[in-house]
Structure 1
Amino acid sequence: MTLGRRTLFAVICAVAVATVYVAQPVLARIGADLGVPEADLGWIVTTGQLGYLIGLALLVPLGDMCDRRTLIAGHLLLAATGMALAAVADRLWLLLVGLALAGLFAVVVQTTVAFAADLSAPGGRGRTLGAVTSGVIVGILGARVLAGGLAALWGWRSVYVALALLLVALTYLVLRLLPADPRSANGVARPSYGEVLGGLGGLFRDRDRVLVSRGLIAFFLFASFGTLWSGLALPLAAAPWHLSTAQIGLFGIAGLAGALGAARAGRWADAGRAHAVTGGALALLAVSWAATGQASRSLWPVVVGVVVLDFAVQAVHVSNQHLLTAAHVHRTSSAIGGYMLFYSLGSAVGATATTALYAAAGWAGSSALGAAFALCALTVWAVDRHSRRKDGRRYGQYGQYGGYGQYGEYGQYDQCDEYRQCG
C-alpha cells in the first residue's frame, strides 16, 4: 500500500474518533453557553460514546456485506451532519442528538481499519495497521489539544464546525482516491445483514479463541488507558501544581509521541513477533504506572510514564488487530467490530473507576488500579500463550504468524469457513 493511501486512512481514523472525544476539554464552556447544570455535563460525553457502542454492534458488520469505499464515504457524511447539528445547537437536546449521530457513525474507524487491512499484501498488513491505527491515538489525544486551541480563539462551536468541514472533505477524498472494494471486482457473494450479525454473534457464542483472548486483553488494556487519561487531570489541577486546562492538555503531546513511536509494532507483527510484542508491551504498561503514580510529587516522571504507557497501548492494539485480521480474512469488519466492543467497555470502566477511586484514595489509588488492569491483561496473554504451546505440542509445526499448528498461530481453531461451518 502506498504512503499516500495509508496517510488518508490514518486521517480518516483520527478525525472520526475525534468526534467522540472532542467535547471533553470544552465541557465547561458548553455548559455555560447552553445553561447546562454541572451535574448533567457528563451526558455530553456519554451520549457520543453510547452512539459509538451501538454503531460497533449494528453498523460495523455492514463492512462484510457492502462496498466499503461507499460505506466509508456515507458514514463520514452522516458523522459530518451530526457535527453540524452540534455546532448550531441552542438547546441541550439538539446537541445530544448531534453528538449521538456523530458517535454512531464514528465507527467508520473500524470499517476503515478492516478495509486497509484487506487492501494490504499479507506481508505488509502489520505495517499498514500500525500506520492507520496511529490515527486513532492521534485523534483521541490530539482532539484535546485542538479543541482547547480552537475554543480559546473562536468559541466551542468552532470545534464542531471544523470537524464537520474535515469530514465532508474526507468524504470527497475517499470517493476520489480510494479503490473500489476488491470483493466487488472479484464477484464475491455477499452475505445478508442477518447472516453478518449472526456471524458476529457466532464469534462470541462459539467463544472464538482469537477474539476472546485478544478482546479480553483489549478490555484490560484500554481500562488502564482510560484510568490514566480520564483521571490524570485531577492531580495535575490540584495542589501543588494547579495547572490550567491548556497546560494539562500538553501532556497529550507526550502521549502522542509514545503512540507514534509504536508504529513499528506493525512491522514486528509482520515478522511473526506479534505475541512477543504483546507480552513485552503489557509488561511496560504495568511498569509505566510506577512513573505516572508520582503525579502528586513530580511531573517529569509523569511525562516519561505517559510516553511509555501510550507506546505500550498502541503496540498491543496494533498486534491484536493484526492477529484478528489474519485469523478472520473473510470477515474482518465483524472481527474488528467485536474486538472494539471490548475496547469500548474497557475504556468506560477505566474512566468511571478512576474518578471514583481518586475521590476515595487519591492518585495513588487510581495508579494502583491502572497497574492492576495492566497486570490482568498480562495474565490473559500468559494464559493464552501457555494454551497455544499445549496445542503446538499436540498439532506440531509452527504457523505462519508465529504461533502453533499448521493452520496459523491458533492451531486448528480457524479451519472453518467464513461462517464457521467446518468441513
Structure 2
Amino acid sequence: MSENASSPGLRPNDLLTFVMAVACGLAVANIYYAQPLLDTLAGDFGINRGTAGVIITMTQLGYAAGLMLLVPLGDLLERRRLITVISSVAVLSLVGMAVAPTSSLFILAALITGVTAVVAQILVPFAAHMANDAERGRVVGRVMTGLLLGILLARVVSGSISDLFGWRAVYWIAAVIMLVQVVALRHLLPEESPQSPMRYAGLLRSVATLVREEPVLRRRIVYGALGFASFSAFWTTLPFLLAQAPYHYPDAVIGLFGLLGVAGALCANLAGSLHDRGYSRVGTGLFQAAMGLSFVLMAVFPENLVAIIVGIIVLDLGVQGNMILNQGAIYQIRPEARSRITTAYMTFYFLGGAAGSAGAAYLFEFAGWIGACSLGIVLGASGVLFWLREGASHDCS
C-alpha cells in the first residue's frame, strides 16, 4: 500500500485526530516528567546529582531503543493492537516508577517507560497514512501539536503535582491517565494492518542501508544528535541550578520554565519558510550557532534570571529550528521509506540526547553550572565546525 494514499474508510475525523494528538502528547510527556524533579529525587533516594541525571539518560536510551526496535513493527502488525499493547506496558512501568523503593528500580522503570513512549512515533505516521492528500498536512500538524504540547507541559504539570502531593503522585496520576488512554485508543482507533513485503529483520536491515547510502541523512543525523544533546544537557542540569542559591526554587517553579519552550514552537514557521525558500544551509548554520551562544550567555551570567530566560529562548529557537530544517531535508529523499528514515534519524537523535544528559549531569556534579554549560558550548561549536566543513561539499541539503 502506498504511503501517499489513505486507506478507504479510515479517514480520521476531528474527534479521532484530537484523540491521537492527545495520545501523542501524553506518551511523550512520560519522558519529561522527571526533569524538574531531579533535585528532589536525588534527595529522596540519597544519590548524587550525577546519578540522578541518569534517570533522564535512561528514558532517552529507552526511547532510542523503542524507535529502533518497535516503530518498524507498525509496517508489519495491526497498528491499533500494537499501540494499545505498548501503552499498557507504559501503565505498568509508570506504576513501577511510583512505587520504586530504590533509585536502581526507579531507573529501570524509567528505561521501560522510555521504550513505551515511542507510541507517539507510531501514531504520527498512522494519522498521516489514514488522511487523504488534501488534508494530510492539517492532520499531521494537529497530531504533532499535541506531541509538542506534551513536551512543554510535562515539566509544568509534574513540578506542580510534586509540590502539592509529592513526586510519587506524578507517576500514579500518569499511570491512571495512560490506562484511560489505552481504553480510548482501543475503542476509537480503526483496525488497519499495513502490508509490507519485508520481514521484521529485513526492515531493520533496511534502516542501516538507508544510513549507509544517503549522505543527506547522515549529515542531518549529526546536526540532530548535537542539537538534542545540547537540549538535554541544559534541561537535565537546569533544575540543579534553580534549586540552589541564589534561586532556591521549588519543583513547581522549576517546571514553569518549560513554558519558555513555546518560543521554539513559534520558530517552526520561520524554519519551514527558510527551507522552502532555499535557505536551509544558511538557517542550519544560524541555528547551530544560536545553541552554542545560548550556553555562553548562561555560563557568564548564571545568577542573572533574565540571562537564563533569554538563554532558554535562544536555545529552544536553535534546537527547534534545527529540527525543522533536518526533517525538511530528510523527507525529500526516498518518499517510500519515510517511516524507516524517521527511525534512523530519531534513534540517533535520542542517543545524542542521552549522551548530553549523562555528560552534563556528571559535569555539574564535578564542575557545577560552568561545567554543564561548557559541554553545551562544545556541542554548539562542533555543530558550527561541521557546518563549515560541509560547505566544501556541492550537496549541502
- For 1:283, the aligned partner's letter is A
Distance 2:186 2:22 in 1: 15
Contact preservation (8 Å) 2:39, 2:240: no
> Where does 1:25-64 land on structure 2 (aligned, <5 Å)?
25-27=36-38, 36-39=45-48, 41=52, 44-64=55-75
Distance 1:111 1:364, change over 3 A: same
Distance 2:43 2:304 in 1: 33
Shift of residue 166, structure 1, vs aligned partner: 2.3
TM-score, normalised by the number of residues in structure 2: 0.80
Specify the alignment match of 1:163 in structure 2: 174
More relative contact order, 1 or 2 (CA 8 Å, 6+ apart) = 2
Unaligned runs of 5+ in 1: 392-402, 404-408, 410-423
Contact preservation (8 Å) 2:72, 2:203: yes
Distance 2:277 2:23 in 1: 28
Distance 1:83 1:122 in 2: 37
Specify the alignment match of 2:232 in structure 1: 226
Specify the alignment match of 1:192 in structure 2: 199
Distance 2:272 2:61 in 1: 34
88-97 or 245-254, larger mean C-alpha shift: 88-97
Corresponding position: 1:264 with 2:264: no
Corresponding position: 1:71 with 2:77: no
Specify the alignment match of 1:80 in structure 2: 91
Distance 2:190 2:329 in 1: 24
Contact preservation (8 Å) 1:19, 1:103: yes
Shift of residue 22, structure 1, vs aligned partner: 1.8
Specify the alignment match of 2:248 in structure 1: 242
> Where does 1:312-351 land on structure 2 (aligned, <5 Å)?
312-351=318-357
> Where does 1:383-422 land on structure 2 (aligned, <5 Å)?
383-384=389-390, 386-387=392-393, 390=394
Shift of residue 326, structure 1, vs aligned partner: 3.8
Corresponding position: 1:153 with 2:164: yes
Residues paired across the two proteins, number: 383
Corresponding position: 1:352 with 2:358: yes
Q: What's the secondary structure of 2:331's corresponding residue?
A: helix
Distance 1:280 1:132, change over 3 A: farther
Contact preservation (8 Å) 2:161, 2:167: yes
20-29 or 138-147, larger mean C-alpha shift: 20-29
Distance 1:121 1:319, change over 3 A: farther
322-331 or 161-170, larger mean C-alpha shift: 322-331
Shift of residue 116, structure 1, vs aligned partner: 4.0
Shift of residue 275, structure 1, vs aligned partner: 1.9
Q: What's the secondary structure of 2:77's corresponding residue?
A: coil
Shift of residue 160, structure 1, vs aligned partner: 1.6
Corresponding position: 1:99 with 2:110: yes
Contact preservation (8 Å) 1:224, 1:350: yes
Distance 1:108 1:252 in 2: 22
Shift of residue 302, structure 1, vs aligned partner: 1.6
Deviations 1:288-327 (CA, angstroms, capped at 9, x unpaired): 3343334424211221221221122122223323433342
Percent of pairs with identical residues: 33
- For 1:323, the aligned partner's letter is A
Distance 1:290 1:92 in 2: 33
Distance 1:359 1:117 in 2: 44
Contact preservation (8 Å) 1:220, 1:377: yes
Unaligned runs of 5+ in 2: 1-11
Shift of residue 94, structure 1, vs aligned partner: 5.5
- For 2:65, the aligned partner's letter is I
Shift of residue 221, structure 1, vs aligned partner: 0.5
370-379 or 53-62, larger mean C-alpha shift: 370-379
- For 2:167, the aligned partner's letter is W
Shift of residue 216, structure 1, vs aligned partner: 0.5
208-217 or 41-50, larger mean C-alpha shift: 41-50
Shift of residue 190, structure 1, vs aligned partner: 3.6
- For 1:192, the aligned partner's letter is R
Deviations 1:340-378 (CA, angstroms, capped at 9, x unpaired): 222122212222332444456553453343233123223
Deviations 1:195-229 (CA, angstroms, capped at 9, x unpaired): 1111122223x252232111100111012112221
Indicate which of 114, 122, 129 corresponds to 1:111: 122
Distance 1:245 1:365, change over 3 A: same
Specify the alignment match of 2:4 in structure 1: none
Contact preservation (8 Å) 2:93, 2:112: yes
Distance 2:179 2:387 in 1: 41
Contact preservation (8 Å) 2:158, 2:252: no
Corresponding position: 1:202 with 2:213: no
Deviations 1:69-125 (CA, angstroms, capped at 9, x unpaired): 442233222212222333344566664554333222112222233334445667876
Distance 1:305 1:28 in 2: 21
- For 2:280, the aligned partner's letter is H
Deviations 1:254-284 (CA, angstroms, capped at 9, x unpaired): 12x2132134257537846572543443333
- For 2:96, the aligned partner's letter is L
Contact preservation (8 Å) 1:145, 1:250: yes
Distance 1:115 1:154 in 2: 37
TM-score, normalised by the number of residues in structure 1: 0.76
Distance 2:179 2:291 in 1: 37
Alignment root-mean-square deviation, CA: 3.5
Distance 1:73 1:347 in 2: 27
Contact preservation (8 Å) 1:62, 1:333: no
Distance 1:128 1:282 in 2: 30
Deviations 1:232-269 (CA, angstroms, capped at 9, x unpaired): 234333433333333333222212x2132134257537
Distance 1:372 1:2, change over 3 A: farther
- For 2:273, the aligned partner's letter is W
